[in-house]
Amino acid sequence: MPVTTHIEKHFEASDIVRDVVIGMSDGLTVPFALAAGLSGTVSQTGIVVIAGLAEVAAGSIAMGLGGYLAARTDFDHYCSEREREIRETVELPHKETEEVAEVFRGYGMEDKDIAPVVAAICSNQKRWVDFMMRFELGFEEPNPKRARNSAITIALSYVVGGLVPLAPYMLMSRLLTALSVSVAVTMAALFVFGYVKGKLTGIPPLRGGLQTVVIGGLASAAAFGLAKWIS
Amino acid sequence: MPVTTHIEKHFEASDIVRDVVIGMSDGLTVPFALAAGLSGTVSQTGIVVIAGLAEVAAGSIAMGLGGYLAARTDFDHYCSEREREIRETVELPHKETEEVAEVFRGYGMEDKDIAPVVAAICSNQKRWVDFMMRFELGFEEPNPKRARNSAITIALSYVVGGLVPLAPYMLMSRLLTALSVSVAVTMAALFVFGYVKGKLTGIPPLRGGLQTVVIGGLASAAAFGLAKWIS
């Protein structure tokens, strides 16, 4: 099945890109916004660093494990649906044969043309179940290693992203200097990240870069405003 | 096409559930972990509340807008691929007809049986393009309203989730009492959330409940440990 192989390859590559994007966009944005928000109300960089690193630890673990469970759930769901289809080809072969015909009827084919197609598909149980999974239920076969890889990719991307805005607070003792450097460095990083993400996902890179800068800016402005307002 | 309609309905409902799960699992976990982490190093509930709410503001905006852009990118990608397929049915009809036949060859059908199927599908341009999008490229047609709905659902779920662990710090002045109540309330909320999520996604509810409690526990233990270690 060259077509299916082709689609799976395409999906795997875009899964890794998606995981890096999920982890890094939150990693760059949330610790940045939290640090900027706290800078409006506390007086030392120390507390910003502690809160920021605590957030990076919590966020990377929560997102990584969340990604792991999401991928596992997808995989378990696929397996249980597949088992049900296998059972049905044995217990209700007429109903399942009719469902294959139904897919083709949806494409406006005549019953006389459908018969040989259905016979060919249903002559082999694996092929029959593959067909039902993909064409009736719309499932792609998930990669069983995906859950673990997804968790690691998301968590690491979150940590890498999160260290960018926090580094100035770790290296500088004056809070407002650290805030300014953090804003400059992170805005630049968000732009580069959005630009590359745009290239990879096929949206215009400049638009991609501006979008991520706007998200980071809005999130940190909201955090900053809220923190100022409460304290 | 009753089959396609059925699949789209199924996908839409699970999209909303997925968005609530994305927003709420992070909303319950990360502010909880951050607040617990800071409780190990600061002396007043005030700073925990400020940092926690700043995180909820930043996290809900970052995740909501991130969800918006992800859904928009999916939609734009679908539209541009669809336009390319439409162009190809006009400019390269032989190649596209051959690609339809290729899909069926993958299911072990003979060329003589394939001919009428291919003719039926390619007799109508919309049907032809629909077929290529779904069966060759593996795309489901996305809902154009999804981007906005997804953003709102994720952001609100994050805020609702995030207020649960922060409420005790807002209502109580003794830091360790607030921490204990926050741990108890949030663990209970994580369990209920995981239990319901399990019911909706088809994994055993008890396992679902325990999974989310473990994620929340690990994330906050890491945040707590890291914050203690730095300060």
- Average pLDDT rounded to a whole number, residues B149-156: 92
Task: Quote the CA–CA distance of B159 and B28 in Å, as a whole number.
Answer: 9
Using a CB-CB distance cutoff of 8 angstroms, which residues of chain A are in contact with residue B220?
Answer: 58
Residue A70, pLDDT above cutoff 90: no
Q: Is residue A228 classed exposed, middle or buried when 0-12, 13-18 and 19+ CB atoms within 10 A define those classes? A: middle
Where residue A13 falls among pLDDT bands split at 50, 70, 90?
A: low
**pLDDT digits 0-9 by tens, B31-47:** 998 999 888 888 888 88
Summarize pLDDT for B163-191 with one digit per residue, the tens: 999 999 999 989 999 999 999 999 999 99
Class of residue B46 by CB neighbours under 10 A (exposed 0-12, middle 13-18, buried 19+): middle
Does the pLDDT value for residue A66 go beyond 50?
A: yes
What's the confidence (pLDDT) of residue B169? 95
Q: Does residue B204 have a pLDDT over 80?
A: yes
Q: Which has the minimum average pLDDT: B11-25, B70-84, B94-108?
A: B11-25
Give the pair of three-digit tokens for residue B145. Answer: 């309203």
Q: How far apart are CA A127 and CA B174, in angstroms?
A: 65
List, in order, residues 6 or more apart from B136 with CB less than 8 Å away. A3, A7, B99, B100, B102, B103
A-B contacts at Cβ under 8 angstroms = 241
Residue % of chain B over a pLDDT of 70: 94
CB contact under 8 A, B34 and A55: yes
Give the closest of B61, B113, B135 to A135, CB-based: B135
Helix (H, G, I), strand (E, B) or coil at B140: coil
What dihedral angle (degrees, nearest 10) is formed by the CA atoms of B37, B39, B44, B50? Answer: 30
ipTM of the complex model? 0.74
pLDDT digits (tens, 9 = 90+) for B103-126: 878 777 778 778 888 888 888 888
> Which chain A residues have a beta carbon less than 8 Å from that of B134?
138
Concatenating the DSSP letter of every residue in A120-171 gives HHHTSHHHHHHHIIIIIS-PPPPPTTHHHHHHHHHHHHHHHHHHHHHHHHHH
Q: A30-34, A106-110, A222-226, B122-126: which has the highest mean pLDDT?
A: A30-34
pLDDT at B223: 86
Length of chain A: 231
- Contact of A101 with A114, CB cutoff 8 Å: yes
For chain B, report the end-to-end CA distance as a whole number of angstroms.
Answer: 63
Residues B219 and A58 sit within 8 Å (Cβ to Cβ): yes
Q: What is the value of pTM for the model shown?
A: 0.77
Mean pLDDT over residues A63-71, rounded?
82
Binned at pLDDT 50, 70 and 90, residue A5 comes out as very low
Nearest Cα of chain A lies from the Cα of B63 at a distance, in angstroms, of 7
Residue of chain B minimizing CA distance to A75: B203
Please tell me the distance in Å from A165's CA to the nearest CA on chain B: 14
d(CA A116, CA A123): 10
The structure tokens listed for B101 are: 């036949």
d(CA A156, CA B196): 29
Q: Please report, in angstroms and rounded to a whole number, the separation of the first and last CA atoms in chain A.
A: 63
Quickly list H helices, B108-145. Answer: 111-122, 125-131
Contact between residue B48 and residue B174 where contact means Cβ atoms under 8 Å apart: no
Q: Residue A172: its pLDDT value, please?
A: 93
SS in 3 state form for A18-41?
A: HHHHHHHHHHHHHHHHHHHHHHCC
Nearest residue of A to residue B64 by CA position? A215
Report the C-alpha gap between B42 and B139 in whole angstroms.
51
Please report residues of A whose CB lies closer than 8 A to that of B154.
none
